[in-house]
Amino acid sequence: MTLEFLLASAIGVLVAGGIYLSLRARTFQVVLGLTLFSYAVNLFLFASGRLTINRPPILQKGVTEYADPLPQALVLTAIVITFGMTALAVVLSLRSFLETGSDQVDGNECAGDEDEGPDLNAGPRA
Amino acid sequence: MTALHSLADIAISAMIVIGATFALIGSWGMVRLPTLMERLHGPTKATTLGLGGMLVGSILYFHLVEGKWALHELLISLFLFITAPISANMIAKVHLHQLRVKPDVDGLDPVGPAGMPPIPSEDSGWATYEATVQTSPAAVAEM
Amino acid sequence: MRRLIPHPGLSVLLVIVWLLMANAITVGGLLMGIVIGILLPIFTAPFWPGRPSVNYRAGIAFMALVLWDIIIANFQVAAIILFRRNRDIRPAWLSIPLELETPEAITVLAGTISLTPGTVSADVSSCGRFLLVHALDASDPASEIARIKSRYEARLKRVFK
Amino acid sequence: MSIASHFAIAPVVIPALAAPFALLVMRRRRWLGVGISFASCAAMLAVALLLLRAASDGTIRTYELGEWPAPFGIVLVVDRLAAIMLTLAATLSLIALLHAVIARSDRKGWHFHPMFQFQLMGLNGAFLTGDLFNLFVFFEVLLIASYGLMLHGQGPARLKAGVQYVIVNIVGSSLFLIALGLLYALTGTLNMADMGLRVAEIPIADQGLLRVAALLLASVFALKAAIVPLHLWLPRTYAVSTPAVAALFAIMTKVGVYAMIRVIPQIFGDDAGAAAWVPAPYLLPAAMLTAIVGFGGVFVARELSEQAAYAVIGSTGTLMIAVAGWQPDTLGAAIYYLVHSTLAGATLFLVADAVARRRASYADRATPGPLFQDRQLVAVLFMGAAIAATGLPPLSGFIGKLLILRSVADVPSWGWAWGTILGTTLIGVIGFARTGSAIFWNETEASARAQLPQVSRADLLAPAIALALLAALSIGAGPVTDYGHAAARQALDSASTARAVLGGH
Amino acid sequence: MALELTLYTLVFLPFLAALLITTVSARSMAWHSGLAASGSALGLAIVLSLAGRVLDGEVLGISAPWVPALGLDFSLMVDPLGLLFALMILGIGLLVVIFGHFYLAPSEATGRFFASLMLFQGAMLGIAISGNVLLLLVFWELTSLSSFLLIGFWKHKAEARQGARMALAVTGGGGLVLIAGMVLLGSVAGSFDLATILQRADIVQASPLYPVMLILILIGCFTKSAQFPFHFWLPHAMAAPTPVSAYLHSATMVKAGVFLLARFWPVLSGTELYTAIVSSVGLITMLFGAWVALFRHDLKSILAYSTISQLGLLVMLLGFSIKMAAVGAVLHIINHAAFKAALFMSAGIVDHETGTRDIRKLGGLGKVMPVTALVATLAAASMAGLPPLGGFISKEMMLDETLHVGLFGQPWLVPIVATLAAALSVAYSLRFAAHLFFGKPRDAQAHAKAHDPAAGMWGSPAFLVALAVLLGLIPMTLVGPLVTAAASAVLGETAPPLGLALWHGVNPALGMSVVAVAAGTLIVWQHSRVLRAYEGLRHLDAKHLFEQTLSIADKRVRKLIVAIHAPSLQRMLLAAFAVVVLFIAEGAVRGSGSLTGTRAGQPASVMAIVAWGLLIAATVAVVLEHRQRFLVLVYVSVIGLVIALAFVHLSAPDLALTQISVEVVTILLLLLALNLLPKRPPQLSGNGRRLRDAALALLGGFGVGGAAWAMLTRPANNPISGYHVANSYTGGGGTNIVNVTLVDFRGFDTLGEIIVLGIAGLAIYALLDTAARGAAGARLGTWQEDMPHSPERHPMMFVMATRILLPLVLAAGIYIFLRGHNQPGGGFIAALVIAIAFLLQYLASGFDWTDARRKVGEHLLIASGVLVAVATGLGSLVFGANFLTSSFGYFHVPLVGEVELATAMLFDVGVLCVVFGAVMQALAQLSHIAQRAARAHAANLAVRQEDGK
Amino acid sequence: MIAHAVSYAFVCLALALCCNLWRLLRGPTIGDRIVAMDTMVINVIAVIVLIGIATARGTYYEAALILAMVGFIGTVAYCKFLLRGDIVE
Ligand code: NA
Ligand code: NA
């Protein structure tokens, strides 16, 4: 088990989950999928600097080897942007639901989600 | 000198070991105890002696081995001491709430060995169950 | 003076916190800490309606006691978790009548109870005169209540006089 | 250093300042906000023209932000193509802004002008930057601003379309990041010119990865450019947007095309080994499909705005047919047609709005309605817009299409390309003839005329100006095409670009 | 110079006239027709003034470069052929304008009419005299567009609209094909200059592309000239006002195709292929048109089909590839122009006077309107090719030429068919004249007030008929030189000597025409019987067919387009992901290299493996339980936690900080939204779809994961970040390389990034600000809690704890900001921490309580933040440095010691403001909406309790 | 010696995290899952501190501090949601 394998496989799993969820029919699931997807993307971008243990890119006397700081800066920027985009997507899908009464995104509109029975997503899966 | 070093080593190692052990015990308790309220006691160990030990170990280590002050690690404990009770309190409230709104989740009995909480007094109930009285000290930020 | 330093205790705490964060005692750090200690309380004053007067000496003593109790309790609870079978554990709900009146005091008490392993404060009564505590193992609830009241509440009454 | 040396940054800084100022004054003095917005656009146009003139001599000017030498810092690159795009954006922005203000559509919410300025900042940044990650950032800026603008005015249709538009583009951005990661991992740089040099040294063993990166990047740009099958998001989005906004959006798909023209020759040119020109073979068929789908949509559209949206897709398809040749001639033709089709698309949306505003409940639906105000005038404008969109004489589209036909005559599958271009033109013509004759020639009972609103003629100004520009583009086609071809040669000459950008470093 | 001026004037004059007419469109008809007439007259004058020089053999040409890159020059060329057409276009144009003035009612949109007419005239003239093929194409398409306007003039009539659309579709479409042909021709000939191309016959005909370009060009000509099978648009173009028809059918539009054939005769003609296609198409069209014309009842329809037939004749002649035939074609072009215009005008007069064009209702009009009768009869006679009229001479020539061609090796084929067609044309012409003016009236009321119109109206046809007569009597003197010259221009060499005369002695041609006349008369005599036979056959109505095909195509395509573009986000994403997966596969397969690289991996610690397990488990749980919206959020935050830990482990402390703080804010955001979103778990999509999505997801996962693996197992390629490490402290004044990169090396990115966040804040505000109104407001008003809630709003312990936390967390935020340049932290993280400090208050003490205590508005924060950042960047310009150039210095402050001040930190202040503002904006607004909903619910509850009591 | 202690600690914390995961997935009540997540946060803080010791670096301190400050917000928010639906009121 190398770190590289762990990260790569984790990215793969996140991407798979992200794709699957973003292909669901309701905005919430889609947003969820995007969240997973962007986790994966951030990790991927981070990985472009390769993996370094215990070499944080903060200058220290006598230390010459540092983790590649550039991808970290890029990922930081990417995280911020992703956050902004996700926030907008969430609010927009909420707003669209409030306006149209449907949070479907699969084209076949079924308005009237209001008449739904309560459901506390608490217990284990039925 | 070496004696002192080895002494430091022992102290540091001891703290780390104690901390880690208690963290594990806390989590283990969370696994094995019967219901939510009992499991809730697990984390407090992880928080207090678990992390505490680790932090003291860290402070000692940086001071004795690296020769740097690392008292700022105490802040971690400070914040955790403020926040951990809140988490526990809120989770407990959730438990109380669920005891009322859905007495049994899929057949298993959440009430647990402690039974139902007692009624505090005839003229009032628990805040989770009935709105706080305006005059009560608990009525902070009600407006 | 009261307007400049609305919460002297808080200001002191902030200076200490600042120095701790800076993790070094320098003049610059101290100055900065003092600035923070003065400015932040003023800025956050609106978020502090109540101004409890605190007896700091008693407070420190209380903290020391609690720390000690925490250590002891940790071992007790660890023993329970590791060696006691579920059916031998005696969990119980304790409804503790409160003499403390300020929310700050009650909060500190509840926090203390939660921090000491074995007990978790779950709720306050709507009237604010009872504290609901869950004890992991209390074969005799009454004595447990008495212990908490005498050991913590009594001391806290002195801290928040 | 003279102030002139800072002109390169002005197209980004001007809107970046105008937007927050507009935001601050908007609520109390909206007229001031409008003024700021106009002033900013005018200033941008002025700067763009200066840059256009400066670039005309063929020198590539670079601007190292923070004085950090390329490739280590971010560098702006002003060459002919960039200057053209800047000018186009500024011109279009003035037209769209004018229409928004005249039609009062900027009053449906007080964020219009700040968003509008941020949108332009994003566009200009994307046109200027020579750094791949910075390109991503400016893509995000122009995208999120476009979300704001697209949702301007709100209403169920916009919100529903908005959700799709936003989410699809979020996915696109994520893919961009993956491609970026791969490229940085392989080349160790973000500067496009530097990347172009470094791909040459990539060992055979890594070129498969490079190929993947190239294809991913191309598909991201294809998504922005709305090339089949990545075009599905466009029709609804554009059709429901506020017309002034839709007019500005006419340039948005072109940003994707521009990015391809920028990136593919520069990074995935002849030196890229297994990744050399990889997207090319897929581009031509996709482009032809895009043109067919687009003009197919024009053929069957039921509303003018819908028709305009599909026309945008179709024109992108036609454009990409030329781009896909990757020869100086095809690219030159593409650049001319890019400018034309952007203005033409905008005009269509504006005219559609002029119709909708006059026909009340009939809006811009292609059904006979009551005789409405200024019908002659609007009809003339519509015919002009349709002529431009389909590429008939005397407007510039005809010259553009002739250029494309001639230039692609040398590519292997020129027959298909010609067939597509001419065939789609025909169905486009028929489509516009149908909607046009339904709206302007056919009328129901004149009784309904009573309910029609009285609209000031002023809202015909913006489309008229756009048409005038298209005519000018046609009359002045000589110099414009020369500039375009020069720009194309420059864009394809990655070596000299690299020399100019990296200089001594 | 003078010539250039003249020619430019000539070509722009009609357009100018059109422009002027539209500007005075408000005024009376006299203005419109006047302008049009004077425009045409002036143009005619100019052309006549040039005629002398042209006929002397001089080719008047001018050229100005237009689009050199394309080979498109604005060059005009007036040679005899062009001259001939210019004369016809302008001369007949003038007559049509005059006729139109009297024909149209002043109440009609005469401005639009005459403007379009002049537009059309200009386009035609352009075709006739343009000296550059591409320029010719420009004018060619313009004729299609302007004729669209003319045919659709009476827009209230459905047939007008349909006729116009059909004409545009066919001729415009043909034009597009022509474009293809011409561009090919030009590229093969190596020039688009007409004169040059006409010299390059050998090159062109030798080119392998010759057949292609020939067919393309011919399609262009045939569609315009209404040749079979593209003829069907022409009869429906008669929906246009009669003056227009007169123009389109005689001198223009349909003649354009013939003109093009004549124009390119030297280059294209002479080959087997050419002769076979062109002459046979012409022959068929001639026969077919004449045949159909015989059975039409609408006067204009008869004439329309006669036009088709006559044009067939012309095309055939030009198709023979025989010089003399071409000469005959030129002559017949003139004849046809004269009599066809006259005939249409006469038909118009009859229509105008009797109110009907149905030949079955008309008859014996000769008595009541003798002048018209005389004019029309003579014109018809010329069309029939009867002596002593011009039509006779050209028809004789035609018949004579037919004897010299053996089409498909059958010497008899062409002569016989031609004679037959001639007979038919005699028949329809006779029928036209005879039924109309002789015999007895068939419909009383049609004749009620029928009489000859004013001279102004019959003047034009009369003039034309006079021409037709003279063309028979004194052809040589009248048009001899013109025909010779034009013919030479067509042939590209001196035309064979030409002896135009009525009498050529007894020759086969004479015999053939005698046969034709006899047969024609016979047919007319037996017309009713033939008619019955004709009506026995079934005919397909081209227009109906066309409209039907169009509407079917429309339905089908519409269906397809709508189906493709269904408003399904799933489909859009599916397409995107599918493309990505395919491309990754493509790159992996086609590209070289193995998946695993050479770089050695690093062994993973137990902790790493466990953390990995946590992440995988949480992700799988999210996917499996995605329908339990609340639960998955818990899992998601676990994923976030593990990623933060990974960043710590992989030496990215700044990322860890960012990840942790962003995570918190995101979760709050999602919870706020989730409360208002419908919580009913969505119904599962079908197994098939889920399987498909799962497959795609797995492929994508493998693809991206594989790419990551390939990337991670390859050594880094000397990244530029080495420079950043080296210059972070010396050049950027900070030891935290990441932060220095963000605020200095790549500050421009950060500027864009904070603007993204700012815009997000604004957009969210704009979205939620309106949520209380309209449908959304209503829905909020009726919003119901979906689960029983605890009555406690602000748990005491929580509130008290957050109050002590506020200053502490703020202090931590400030600390993280200040040292960000040198240690993990920075403006962005600090902003998030500070925002969280306040969000805590919202969470614990509620919206109203906290909102009442907040100081600065978010808009101000965002705007000023951006301004600060940009201003910092601009500051460096003052010192002559580039935008965003940072500077820093270390200052010694007594007691305090070294203090660093860097402009980058000022920039970071901007970052902090924007991020803080945007985050607060988003969450505060969202919780505000939630507030509204909660209040609504409370109100509803109260109401319900009222009802309960 | 310290090294051994550290690796022992890592193993303990790893096991602790596994326990948390088990409870997280197992439930049964949502409260249990939240407890699991809350404990996980605390254990992760411990891991970060431990990494700090293991690598003898102060650089990871901020991460632990921030997590200690904001880590509980998730827990509280989830609880508030379950109690009130509306987490800010
Ligand atoms: Na950032
Ligand atoms: Na940043």
Tens-digit pLDDT profile for residues B112-127: 787 888 888 878 888 8
3 state SS of E438? coil
Nearest CA in chain B to E845: B141
Q: Ligand 1 centre and the CA of E667: distance in Å? A: 19
Nearest in space to A87 (alpha carbons), one of E917, E581, B126: E917
Q: Starting from the CA of residue E828, give the closest ligand.
A: 1
Find the Cα–Cα–Cα–Cα dihedral F41, F42, F48, F53, rounded to 10°.
Answer: -170
Handedness of CA D263, D265, D270, D276 (dihedral sign): positive
| Average pLDDT value for chain E | 91
Q: What is the DSSP string of C1-58?
A: -TTT-S-HHHHHHHHHHHHHHHTS--HHHHHHHHHHHHHHHHHHGGG--------HHH
Give the confidence band of E496 by pLDDT, cuts at 50, 70, 90.
confident
Residues of chain A positioned with their CB less than 8 A from the CB of E719: 49, 68, 70
Say whether A84 and D144 touch across the interface (CB within 8 A): yes
Nearest chain E Cα to A75, which residue? E655
Residues of C in contact with B29 (CB under 8 A): 77, 81
* pLDDT bucket at B105, cuts 50 / 70 / 90: low
Pick from D393-407, E429-443, E895-909 the range whose average pLDDT is largest. D393-407
What are the tens digits of pLDDT across the range E364-378? 888 889 999 999 999
Min distance F31 CA to chain A CA atoms (Å):
8
Residues in chain A: 126
CA A5 to centroid of ligand 2, rounded, Å: 29
End-to-end CA distance of chain C: 22
**A117 interfacial to chain B (CB closer than 8 Å):** no
Distance E758 CA to ligand 2 centre (A): 13
Residue A113 has pLDDT above 60, yes or no: no
Give distance in angstroms: CA of A80 to centre of ligand 1: 6
- Structure confidence at residue B3 (pLDDT): 66
Q: How confident is the model at residue D42 (pLDDT cuts 50, 70, 90)?
A: very high
When CB atoms are compared, the residue of E792, E805, E845 closest to B127 is E792
**CB-CB: which of A22, A49, A85 is closest to D144?**
A85
Ligand 2 centroid distance, CA of E817 (Å):
13
pLDDT > 70 in chain E, percent: 99
E-proximal residues of A, 14-73, CB under 8 Å: 14-32, 35-36, 39-40, 42-44, 46-60, 66-70, 72-73
Closest residue in C to E853 (Cα) is C46
Q: Are the Cβ atoms of B108 and F46 closer than 8 angstroms?
A: no
Quick one: CA torsion of E608, E613, E619, E620, rounded to 10 degrees?
160
D chain contacts of residue A86, beta-carbon cutoff 8 Å: 170
- What gap in Å lies between CA B77 and CA B82, rounded to an integer? 9
Section D406-428 average pLDDT: 94
What confidence score (pLDDT) does residue C152 get? 93
Least confident residue range of B40-49, B88-97, D214-223, E61-70: B40-49
Predicted pLDDT of residue B141:
64
What's the pLDDT at F60?
Answer: 87
- What is the Å distance from ligand 2's center to F64 Cα? 22
CA of A80 to the centre of ligand 2 (A): 7
Cβ atoms of D133 and D178 within 8 Å: the answer is: no
Helices E210-224 and E254-263 pack at an angle, to 10 degrees, of 150
The tokens of D381 are what?
């404008």
Q: Is the pLDDT of residue B7 over 90?
A: no
Which of E613, E645, E789 comes nearest F83 by C-beta? E789
**pLDDT of res. A122:** 32
Q: Which ligand is nearest to the CA of A42?
A: 1
pLDDT tens digits for D65-109? 999 998 999 999 999 999 999 999 999 999 999 999 999 999 888
Asked if pLDDT for residue A115 goes beyond 50, the answer is no
Q: Assess F34–B contact: CB distance below 8 Å, yes or no.
A: yes
pLDDT surpassing 50 at residue D219? yes
Residues of chain E contacting residue A28, judged by C-beta atoms under 8 Å apart: 629, 674, 677
From the number of C-beta atoms within 10 Å of its C-beta (0-12, 13-18, 19+), residue B74 rates as middle
At B2 the pLDDT is 64
| E99 pLDDT tier (thresholds 50, 70, 90) | very high
CA E180 and chain centroid, separation = 17
From chain E, pick out residues whose CB is under 8 angstroms from the CB of B142.
793-794
Contact of E665 with E839, CB cutoff 8 Å: yes
Contact assessment for residue B20 and residue B38, using Cβ atoms and an 8 Å cutoff: no
E738 CA to centre of ligand 1 in angstroms: 10
Tell me the shortest Cα–Cα distance from A1 to chain B, in angstroms: 24
Q: How far is CA C65 from the centre of its chain?
A: 11
Which residues of chain B neighbour F81 with C-beta distances below 8 Å?
none
Model-level pTM?
Answer: 0.95
The encoded tokens of residue E771 equal 């949520």
Residue E731 CA to ligand 2 centre (angstroms)? 18
Residues E522 and E737: their CA atoms lie apart, in Å, by 105
Find which of F49, F55, F60 to mutate to test the B interface (most B CBs within 10 Å of its CB). F49
Strand partners, C94: C133
Higher pLDDT, B52 or E500: B52
C and A touch per CB criterion (3+ pairs under 8 A):
no
Q: Taking CB atoms and an 8 Å limit, are A76 and E573 in contact across chains?
A: no
Check: CB of residue D207 under 8 Å from CB of residue E594: no
The answer to whether chain D touches chain B by having 3 or more C-beta pairs less than 8 angstroms apart is no
Q: Which chain E residues touch A53 with a CB distance below 8 Å?
A: 602, 649-651
ipTM: 0.94
> What is the rounded average pLDDT of the residues E775-789?
80
Question: Taking CA atoms, what residue in E is nearest to F64?
Answer: E657
Percentage, residues of chain E above pLDDT 90: 67
Average pLDDT of A105-126?
Answer: 43
When the pLDDT of each residue in chain B is averaged and rounded to a whole number, the result is: 84
Q: What is the pLDDT of residue E362?
A: 87
Cβ-contact D67, E881 below 8 angstroms: yes
Distance, CA of E622 to CA of E619 (rounded, Å): 5
Please indicate if any CB of chain A lies within 8 Å of the CB of E24: no
DSSP state of D457: G
pLDDT in tens, F39-89: 999 999 999 999 999 988 888 889 999 999 999 999 999 999 998 887 777
CB contact under 8 A, B98 and A122: yes
Contact state of E797 with B89 under an 8 Å Cβ cutoff? yes
What residues 38-67 of chain F have any CB closer than 8 A to a CB of chain A?
Answer: 55, 57, 59
φ/ψ bin of A107: left (φ > 0), alpha (ψ from -120 to 50), beta (otherwise): left
Whether residue B108 has pLDDT greater than 70: no
Examine the pLDDT at A124 and tell me if it is beyond 50: no
Residues 91-120 of C with CB under 8 A from B: 91-93, 95, 101-103, 106, 110-111, 114-120
pLDDT of residue E301: 93
CA distance B123 to chain F (A): 23
- List the single range of B26-35, D240-249, D291-300 with lowest mean pLDDT: B26-35
Residues, chain B: 143
Query: Which candidate, E285, E284, E304, E283, places its Cα nearest to that of E293?
Result: E304
| 3-state SS, residue D62 | strand
